[in-house]
Structure 1
Amino acid sequence: MVKVTSSKEELAELIHQREQLEQERQEIINNETNDDNINKVREIDRKIENINYELHGSRSSNYSLRTHKNKLENQEQEFIHKLNKLDEKQDEILSKEEKIRQLEETARGLIKRTTSASLGKQFSERKDQLEQNLEYWKYASIGSILVLLLFAGFIYYDISTSTTTTIDTNIAKVFLILSVSVAVWFTVSNYRRQKILMEEYEFRARMALSLDGYREILRDEQISEDSEIVAEFVRDTMDKIYLNPQENALNLDEGGDDSLIDRQRPSRSILPWLR
């Protein structure tokens, strides 16, 4: 706005100067014509021509500024329109998140009301604690990996730019990389172990919450002829619930197979008899 206003003031000043020169030129022409007056007229014509040239340049510049101003105003309107759309989408997402949160709270309330055992609650609380630890180890793993990449890039840059290298410096670089690699291994392995433990406790919490329902269904169905299946189901389920989660986590950490599917086998074997 300042540039446009300044250009308008300059245009007005140039037009005023041109009018004054034209008036002065006309007065000289109306007087007696001689060589001196002719030179004055020529000088005034030259000044008028220069003013006309400046006027043309100023008008072009003013037009360019107006065009640029209009373009900026259009971009501003477009940006405001997009911003309003983003605000609407954000409100919609927040509304959906609130509905999901309410549904989750309702689901948690239903689960709490349908179980009378405190074992599932204890497992769930332990799982929540492990989730907090899992977040810590996740960010620690990411940070250690970034540090390792930073050191690797630094050493690569140092090797590529260094003109002379010694055995001592190379050994120091290797030990530096190894120390950071150990930190990466430590944080990543702890993150994996915490995740396995969290899944173990989550599985036990679900099994504990399902015991009451299974017991009521089995009692209603009165499966007397398949008591062995029922006994196997109850025995395996209780064994898996009270198994130390650390043992399975260590087993998986050493390369063992995940036993979640195997632990679900008693549930799958009993389901046909409950239909």
Structure 2
Amino acid sequence: MNLTAISEASTYVKDQLKDAPAIGLILGSGLGVLGDEIENATVIPYSNIPHFPESTVSGHKGQLVIGTLEGKQVIAMQGRFHYYEGYSMQQVTFPIRVMKDIGIKSIIVTNAAGGINEDFQPGDLMLITDHINNMGNNPLIGKNDDALGARFPDMSQGYDKEYIEHAVKCADALGMSIQKGVYVGNTGPAYETPAEVRMLKTLGGDAVGMSTVPEVIVSRHAGIRVLGISCISNMAAGILDQPLTHDEVIETTEKVREDFIKFVKNIISSLP
């Protein structure tokens, strides 16, 4: 990873900030609405930031929104980058490096995911307790720069246990039912086959998607604490006898937007 590129991107962003944010938000498909809740916002299109990729997926606005949310200074990615878009793992995770350089200590990463666990229903919110990297690649492959993190980072607590407990308490306070589970990261862009979903279930997966894993690996490499939230947008292939579409993903996330916004705002307001 090019330290100069990271520095140039973070300097560009910092030059437009009034206050330094401490919490990062990565908002997945259909979940970018949370960025619209940020007050006194500075909006920076990705295309303006040196070395930043551009988001090409429907449901991803492709901009940073920086300001105040529930009294905390935050920086939100309205739209992320995916390996299936043709970007390298290093490009996909470049914004994490920039956030770290800006001073981010915690990241809430969100996504829309297919439900593998048959106890789940579309519209459920799932706290990610762990992940399975089924992408056949890793953003840390290559020469390690000790200035960015350790050569062999520990992933035994990739998803911060204290943050998970905090999120559960927030859900209880709101009277919300919340799921917990293991997220499987696949490359996409094709949805999984029914046979692949059966395999992932056997491996211990509860939900499957095409993002998040690379960002969490790099966050932990950089020493950033992580809370992961999946919106179960549909049941994975073969569980229900119906085809899968991206339109369904967006439709489901729109239905749960109020609960999602309320939940994340409550988490941020009292995040340890």
More helix by share: 1
Give the greater-gyration-radius structure (CA).
Answer: 1
Between the two structures, name the one with larger relative contact order (CA 8 Å, sep ≥ 6): 2
Tell me if both proteins adopt one fold, taking TM over 0.5 as the criterion: no
* TM-score of the superposed pair, with normalisation by structure 2: 0.17
